[in-house]
Structure 1
Amino acid sequence: MTSYASIEEDRDEGPIHAVIYCRVSSTAQVRRGHGLDSQEMRCREYAESQGYIVEAVFPDDVSGGGDFMRRPGMVALLSYLDAQTGKTYAVIFDDLKRFARDTEFHIKLKRELRQRGARVECLNFRFEDTPEGEFIETILAAQGELERKQNGRQVVQKMRARVLDGYWLFSPVLGYRYDKVPGQGKMLVPDEPNAMIVREALEGFAAGRLQSPAEVQRFLERFPSIPKDRYGRVRLQLAIETLRRPLYAGYLSVPKWDIHLQPGRHEALIDFETWTKIQDRLDGKPLAPARKDIST
């Protein structure tokens, strides 16, 4: 297999115009020299060797595979081709995996480009319109899809293990922020003054001083530091989510990973008994009345 793959062309058709497509899916690729700039440089060298006229470069930095119409750079490339008339274009990219790491979308994207009269050229793969060539191309696309899914599975496994070890990995919730803690890495820490405000709201609802999520909502709206919408209001959904989160009691729950009430390493804002009272009130369970002193 040649390092530079080209398609035989009829030079009588005039000059071949080219657009370059570059994509990275992680900062690690940039560190290893597979960044957007290095891809563009290699593609330009290839275009020059073929005598192509490079008109535009379309970069993407979205990760993974999937629908190419979710990549801004690819959408812009297709729109650019739609706006051109009377030119023959080559779409150049440096590696087959930059094209589409999904078999279905690989075939669809190739069809979309051909419908626009564009040829696809890759620096490390020769596209051939033969049954054998299409078979090899499909196998390589499937291999890329397998690698992407395996990598995704490994990422999820590592993240799940981190949560089981007691660390929250998602966006910080109201009252917390991320900070680097010696010996533990990045983890949740209370974010004052919001942590104190959330604690007061949770304890107030558990004790009955705040009778409903709507009252919690209005309580939170009193404080300038609490995030609000453009109308200056706290969303009722935010108040409900705040009341439901076991995170505030020091526990982690990620249902999609079958993790429920896993003890966390972060500092809790309320104790578990208070959180349980909140859930009972939200679920309409009657609270046990205070026991009278029957010893007398």
Structure 2
Amino acid sequence: MQDHSLRIQTAQQRAVIYARVSSIAQETEGHGLKSQETRCREYALSKGYDVAAVFPDTISGGGDFMKRPGMVALLSFLDAQPDTSFVVIFDDLKRFARDTRFHLDLREAFRTRGATIECLNFKFEDTPEGEFIETIMAAQGALERKQNGRQVAQKMKARMQNGYWIHNPPVGYRYQTVRGHGKLLIPNPPLDEIIMEAFEGFACGRFHSQADVARFLQSHPEFPRNKHGVVTQKRAVDVLTQPIYTGHICSERYGLHWLKGHHQPLISVDTFEKVQQRRAEATYAPKRKNIGEDFALRGFVCCDGCGAPLRSSWPKGKYKRYAYYLCQTKGCDSYGKSIPRDKLEGEVGDLIKTLEPTKPLLALVTKMFSDAWDARIAQAQDKIKAAKRQIADADKQIESLLDRIVGTTNARVISAYEKKISELERAKAGFAEIAANHRPNQGRFEELLELSLRFISSPWKLWETGDINLRRTVIKLTFSGRLNYCRIKGTRTPNLSLPFKALGVFSGIEMKDGAAGEN
């Protein structure tokens, strides 16, 4: 009796199940892999098959089946047991392959391994008529897949043309379902503020290089990092070159150039253009890990002897390392002679402290700001009218170029026209922003006046915080050029920025303690 049961078990047909869905969403929503496996197991039970393994795939049915991990594992399983004949069970013919060529190749791959295939919704027949019907069914699946792909692409392009982003949300945005819009990009705090500060900091010169921007992004734990936990300079460049942050849609794939989007912009077109201009002017500077956030005056202070910017270093002493600035110009009298960081930055701080004006002078500054603001308001309407004229002119040029494109078949000429249209669309975006936002309001004036007076009245307070980015901002706003420093005599007479230069006219009676650093 035992021998009889053993013979029945040995003779039982072995089977494997293959299940596939086209996306992870289908799997997680419960419509795919589990239901297919259940149906296939019921089929195997009704046939008396012994199911040895199940091989799932979460990947599109088009293309090479050898790119499907589950199918590769299934074929490897068959290769490992060449003396055993298996039946491969799957739910539907479309789960097998949705490409005619690869359908036939996969059939041959199973045939060479001695495996047969069975489908719950289709009966395979090894006859000329059966092969013909199978080929037609496979071709129909391929046609449906390509038609679906075309339909999806058309819908994606149409949505982009309507001003909606369709790809993964850029850093600083997230998707939210909004009535009347569907999925819409909205700002994603606190990343949106980080992105804004990165753009504005680079545009105004607070960040000297794209490497500085990368360091700034790295300083925020919330900002996404690569697998090594680092924000690379390339990632910073990718952020700084994304027009999406201006509220516009651009896509080379769909031929869209500076189309106004429905999402809220994080920066202005003007800020974006300033960033691109600074990127074009700056040379590539790799990130220096040995400098970090340690030397606020690196690149700002020059050797008084040779005019070269002072370098910085952390030489090792007997018990610890020490921070120094030094000149590394061979032939200079100060070559290789170190200046303690605290000494140099302390003297520059003392110089900044002398620029604090008195209350009567601040009242004069307030009057100057008010007059300048009134003049700006008077000019605003003229600039808005000029911007509207430029938009109309750009529209005429675009229309003319489109007519020329229709009338030519030369690919190079068409490409040149398309490039010009892209440039005009970009310019239109800038003009439209001027026309919409150029008129200043009184509330904005009061806000800017308060910030400006707070800085001018005491730039020393920002310097005293010790924050390297704030110190660099103070230097940029206070001085119009680099500072010269003599190792023996200290800071030399600086070139002040326009506000402090204007205040310097009254320095003999209004500036506290007068100017510092005389030659």
Q: TM-score range by the shorter chain?
A: 0.7 to 0.9
Q: Percent identity?
A: 57
Q: For residue 243 of structure 2, what is the aligned residue in structure 1?
A: 246
Change (3 A) 1:225 1:124: closer
Structure 2 unaligned spans of 5+: 1-7, 283-519
Q: Which has the larger radius of gyration?
A: 2
C-alpha contact 2:61 2:94 (8 A) present in aligned 1: no
C-alpha contact 2:24 2:58 (8 A) present in aligned 1: no
TM-score, normalisation: structure 1: 0.83
CA RMSD of superposed structures (Å): 2.8
Any idea what the Cα deviations from partners look like across 1:197-234, whole Å, max 9, x if unmatched? 21121112222332322221122222222223355431
Aligned equivalent of 1:236, options 233, 236, 239: 233
Query: Aligned partners of 1:266 and 1:113: how far apart in 2?
Result: 51
Query: Aligned partners of 2:85 and 2:169: how far apart in 1?
Result: 50
Deviates more, 1:22-31 or 1:160-169: 22-31
Aligned equivalent of 1:44, options 38, 41, 46: 41
Change (3 A) 1:42 1:220: closer
C-alpha contact 1:195 1:269 (8 A) present in aligned 2: yes
Aligned equivalent of 1:270, options 267, 270, 277: 267
Aligned residues between the structures = 275
Change (3 A) 1:253 1:140: same
Q: CA deviation at 1:98?
A: 0.8
| 1:171-182 paired onto structure 2 within 5 Å | 171-182=168-179
Greater share of helix: 2
Q: CA deviation at 1:148?
A: 0.3
C-alpha contact 1:194 1:225 (8 A) present in aligned 2: yes
Change (3 A) 1:27 1:20: same
Change (3 A) 1:29 1:245: closer
C-alpha contact 1:174 1:195 (8 A) present in aligned 2: yes
C-alpha contact 2:17 2:55 (8 A) present in aligned 1: yes
Q: For residue 126 of structure 2, what is the aligned residue in structure 1?
A: 129
Change (3 A) 1:37 1:196: closer
Aligned equivalent of 2:22, options 15, 21, 25: 25
Aligned equivalent of 2:51, options 44, 48, 54: 54
Q: For residue 221 of structure 2, what is the aligned residue in structure 1?
A: 224
Q: Residue 253 of structure 2: SS of its match in structure 1? A: helix
Q: Which amino acid aligns with 2:153?
A: V
Q: Which amino acid aligns with 1:100?
A: A
Q: CA deviation at 1:31?
A: 11
Change (3 A) 1:233 1:46: closer
Q: CA deviation at 1:41?
A: 3.1
Q: CA deviation at 1:86?
A: 2.7
Q: CA deviation at 1:25?
A: 2.3
Q: CA deviation at 1:269?
A: 1.0
Q: Which amino acid aligns with 1:71?
A: R
Q: CA deviation at 1:105?
A: 1.2
Q: Which amino acid aligns with 2:146?
A: K
Q: CA deviation at 1:45?
A: 3.2
Q: For residue 390 of structure 2, what is the aligned residue in structure 1?
A: none
Change (3 A) 1:220 1:33: closer
C-alpha contact 1:16 1:87 (8 A) present in aligned 2: no
C-alpha contact 2:17 2:88 (8 A) present in aligned 1: yes
Q: For residue 279 of structure 1, what is the aligned residue in structure 2?
A: 276
Any idea what the Cα deviations from partners look like across 1:84-124, whole Å, max 9, x if unmatched? 24321110112111100011211121122122210111223
Query: Aligned partners of 1:122 and 1:232: how far apart in 2?
Result: 47
Q: Which amino acid aligns with 1:172?
A: P
2:84 is the alignment partner of 1:87 = yes
Query: Aligned partners of 1:207 and 1:246: how far apart in 2?
Result: 18
| 1:71-220 paired onto structure 2 within 5 Å | 71-220=68-217
Runs of 4+ aligned residues of structure 1 deviating over 4 Å after TM superposition are: 26-34
Q: Which amino acid aligns with 2:131?
A: E
Any idea what the Cα deviations from partners look like across 1:70-96, whole Å, max 9, x if unmatched? 222222222221222432111011211
Query: Aligned partners of 2:271 and 2:229: how far apart in 1?
Result: 29
Structure 1 unaligned spans of 5+: 1-10, 286-296
2:258 is the alignment partner of 1:261 = yes
